[in-house]
Structure 1
Amino acid sequence: MTRKFFGTDGVRGTANTYPMTAEMALRIGAAVGRYFRNDGTNQHRVVIGKDTRLSGYMFENALTAGLTSTGMNVFLLGPVPTPAVGLLTTSMRADLGVMISASHNPAQDNGIKFFGPDGFKLSDEAELEIEKLIESGVESAQADNIGRATRIDDGRFRYIERVKGSLPRDLPLRGVKVVVDCANGAAYRAAPEALWELGAEVITVGVSPNGLNINENCGSTSTRTACETVVAHGADVGICLDGDADRVMIIDETGHVADGDQIMGLLASRWAKSGQLKGGALVATVMSNLGLERFLEGEGLRLERTAVGDRYVVEAMRKGGYNLGGEQSGHIVMTDHATTGDGLMAGLQFLAAMVESGKKASELANVFETVPQMLKNVRYGEGQAPLDSPSVMQAIADAEAALVGKGRLLIRKSGTEPLIRVMAECEDAQLLERTVDSVVDAVKAAVA
């Protein structure tokens, strides 16, 4: 059954436009409240965090109304990173965690992500059941059984302590100069504070949120300012987070950017040598570069691929007993420490590698040679289905035939935006560009 409201990472869209309206948030809150409060008692808890978007106030209030109307007791964390919600869901013995964020998307978008009582994101099956409740409506609690809402002021500090605990106590960061770009998002206070408490010299970028500037010319999807800051200040390394701090890009001392594939390759190799890597494998998505797969094979390790979305990475990790996985986009999941991608924690693991090895960031941030990869996006309108067009299907078939034995082609709909993503890898640059453009042109024609 196809999900109607949920994408690859919760419900997402433009704020005040269906389905991201206050009315829908209230209905979603009531539905998910009824799903988790299924025994009629008033002992059920939900924690709610958010990033710094202006619309976060609206959705926080609407979700709280929906949840308390079904008898759920709500704990409001305020602005905290997404991984903090996963952590506090379990530590506060809650039945449910909610993060209000559209991650790396621009400020006008917002989203709602859900975590189960184990701190992990909900399964497809659970989301389908919640969708049924959204559409059918739910019975409200009796007047004397309505839930309460309480604001929690120390959620950020609890998260900082957990993040710091992921590093050995005998591994201080004194003498390391770090630029941290918080994307004017959820980690604008937590990330600099954690790094400073660990002894690093911290230079901040993107720490002045105003509700409208999240991810704007900053963060993991726009690294130019952070790169320039690293070079200008002679910093040892840069850590670029996205709006909800569940993904990271690393900048070396020369201003070069290392993506999630390079970070995962480094960690997998180091963990394997130290006996920390479980199952002899790294879990990543179909988007990860072929160069990463070849590097891991050379290290005697495997790359287990999944569908796009960190939740699918985590599902495969839990099923196979692996403890390291992630996405090229910078979601790095380390299940020994966290239940979801944690950009700050992954950044600290990179700093640990620098301190332990005595090497510069540039020596650690390029562990393999990438196979040339090209990704282009085509936006489509509501109700359009360009991948069903015969001309598009033919263009895809022709491109796949041209790449046989030379590379690979991946076409998919984004789970978070109305985009068709066209990605190919091939060591022949001309063939790479030609095959991608042929599919992109066909999709554009189909949506024109």
Structure 2
Amino acid sequence: MSIFGTDGVRGLANGQLTADLALGLGVAAARVLVAHTDERPTPAGRTRPLAVVGRDTRVSGQFLEHAIVAGLASAGVDVLRLRVLPTPGVAFLTDRLRADLGVMISASHNPMPDNGIKFLARGGVKLDDALEDEIEARLGEQWDRPTGAGVGRVTPYGPPVEEYAAHLVGTLDGERPLAGLRVVLDCAHGAASVVGPKALADAGAEVIAIGAAPDGLNINAGVGSTHLDHLRAAVVEHGADAGFALDGDADRCLAVDHAGEDVDGDQIMAILALALQERGRLVADTLVATVMSNLGLIQALDRAGVAVRQAAVGDRYVLEEMRAGGFNLGGEQSGHVILRDHATTGDGVLTALHVMQRMAASGRSLAELASVVTRLPQVLVNVADVDKGRAGSDPALLSAVAAAEEDLAGSGRVLLRPSGTEALVRVMVEAPTSEKASAVAASLADVVRERLAL
């Protein structure tokens, strides 16, 4: 099984993800990615390939950063150390500095003991599966090491936080466009603990930052986009107009309105899609979402004349669909939102800025803007210990799915999704009521257990 998952290499730091592995990945990535760079001219005066490396606030990121930097430099690559910076900030500077590759050391929303390594190709885009396979194939391979002047140089990079914050604010219209708005930002004690509050304040908002005191051990610990309770309470306590919660590497965000009610990724995408459409900036009047997005999103945008294309689950697949069709907005229900006019990956701080810009420009509350989407009740049942490979071909199961869809008669939907890593099938049902969704999901789960039993 590949060491690469849906978002790079991830595992228990110093368990599966060791300094030795990080060192080897640095060498292998340097050799593969530099060989696959495009034909853009190398900047004048640059004699060696260039990489940028950033990390989140996990204490394990310190030794993993040194290991991967050592691997890159030993392969003849110059390295700029960005230190603590969100994943989208690393992607931005990979592109801005015309680096040959970017590296982000983070396990995103995972607990602190985990960590991960994500690679970015030139331009700041995530790698495709073929490049990851090639990197893995070169791990431990014998090679001719450069010596003397051929090894890479390692340098701290100037002011990455200031440069990235200025980029974020520069994507908005006008001077201090968020003036008059009060916002709570939960930084998950993660990579955006400094740059997130700074960008929102520079854009004119009054910012109350929580989860912004990282100590290397507290990332995602009861805070951030997977733990919204503190954000809900803080928004109500401070009388804020809205609140946004980031994850550990700040590539996604979720929101709550002024009353502390949740606003999920589907609602955020609807708000941004309609804002872009109103200004004639939504390419082909199309949003790219995933198969897990709620039917309520599709229905709301259909009423507004916006089409929704659905990709496989995972922000990399959303981005692939966006690039293939030239679309400029996409994302996931979980809060990964890609504003492709300004970013090459999901960006939680950028998303918060643009949602708030819509609030300020329209004079409408977040609750009112989000209300365009009426979320259908959604039930997800995981059926374990089954032959997931037959989920799309078993005749009796396919017949049961067709019958369920006919029963819902366009008022809901059914999705069977085999797990990518486990022997299980996920049964997802949306229906007009929770009772109906639960009943249909339970019935289909029984068929999956019976027909796909190992």
Decide: shared fold, TM above 0.5. Answer: yes
Residue 266 of structure 2 aligns with which residue?
A: 261
Q: CA deviation at 1:388?
A: 4.9
Residue 368 of structure 1 aligns with which residue?
A: 373
SS of the counterpart of 2:184?
A: strand
Q: Is the 8 A contact 1:414 1:420 kept in 2?
A: no
SS of the counterpart of 2:429?
A: strand
Q: Is 1:27 matched up with 2:24? A: yes
Q: Is the 8 A contact 2:176 2:202 kept in 1?
A: no
Q: CA deviation at 1:429?
A: 2.7
Letter in 2 for 1:237: A
TM-score by length of 1: 0.90
**1:105-164 alpha-carbon deviations (Å, 9 max, x no partner):** 111111111111111111222222212112645443234311121112411111000000
Q: Is the 8 A contact 1:56 1:100 kept in 2?
A: yes
The alpha-carbon distance between structure 1 residues 270 and 54, as it changes in their structure 2 partners (threshold 3 A), is same
Alignment of 1:217-296 (within 5 A): 217-296=222-301
Q: Is the 8 A contact 2:388 2:423 kept in 1?
A: no
**1:67-94 alpha-carbon deviations (Å, 9 max, x no partner):** 1111111111111011101110011121
The alpha-carbon distance between structure 1 residues 373 and 133, as it changes in their structure 2 partners (threshold 3 A), is same
Alignment of 1:82-101 (within 5 A): 82-101=87-106
Letter in 1 for 2:14: N
Distance in 2 (CA, whole Å) between partners of 1:442 and 1:111 is: 37
Residue 418 of structure 2 aligns with which residue?
A: 412
SS of the counterpart of 1:367?
A: coil
Q: CA deviation at 1:103?
A: 0.9
The alpha-carbon distance between structure 1 residues 32 and 443, as it changes in their structure 2 partners (threshold 3 A), is farther
Alignment of 1:373-412 (within 5 A): 373-376=378-381, 387-388=388-389, 400-401=401-402, 403-405=404-406, 406=408, 407-412=413-418
**1:209-264 alpha-carbon deviations (Å, 9 max, x no partner):** 12221111111111110000000111111011111111011110000111110011
Residue 120 of structure 2 aligns with which residue?
A: 115
Q: Is the 8 A contact 2:108 2:247 kept in 1?
A: yes
Distance in 2 (CA, whole Å) between partners of 1:447 and 1:225 is: 42
Q: 1:423 aligns with which of 407, 410, 428?
A: 428
Alignment of 1:168-187 (within 5 A): 168-170=173-175, 172-187=177-192
The alpha-carbon distance between structure 1 residues 38 and 268, as it changes in their structure 2 partners (threshold 3 A), is closer
Q: 1:197 aligns with which of 183, 196, 202?
A: 202
Residue 313 of structure 2 aligns with which residue?
A: 308
Residue 330 of structure 2 aligns with which residue?
A: 325
Distance in 2 (CA, whole Å) between partners of 1:311 and 1:194 is: 26
SS of the counterpart of 2:5?
A: coil
Residue 14 of structure 1 aligns with which residue?
A: 12
Letter in 2 for 1:178: V
Residue 79 of structure 1 aligns with which residue?
A: 84
Distance in 1 (CA, whole Å) between partners of 2:353 and 2:449 is: 42
Distance in 1 (CA, whole Å) between partners of 2:231 and 2:130 is: 40
Letter in 2 for 1:413: S
5+ unaligned residues in a row in structure 1: which ranges? none
Distance in 1 (CA, whole Å) between partners of 2:429 and 2:72 is: 44
Distance in 2 (CA, whole Å) between partners of 1:367 and 1:141 is: 59
Q: CA deviation at 1:360?
A: 1.4
Q: How many percent of aligned residue pairs carry the same amino acid? A: 45
Q: 1:46 aligns with which of 51, 54, 79?
A: 51
Q: Is the 8 A contact 1:30 1:67 kept in 2?
A: yes
CA RMSD across the alignment: 2.7
Distance in 2 (CA, whole Å) between partners of 1:129 and 1:326 is: 28
Distance in 2 (CA, whole Å) between partners of 1:95 and 1:210 is: 32
Moved more, 402-411 or 347-356: 402-411
Residue 134 of structure 2 aligns with which residue?
A: 129
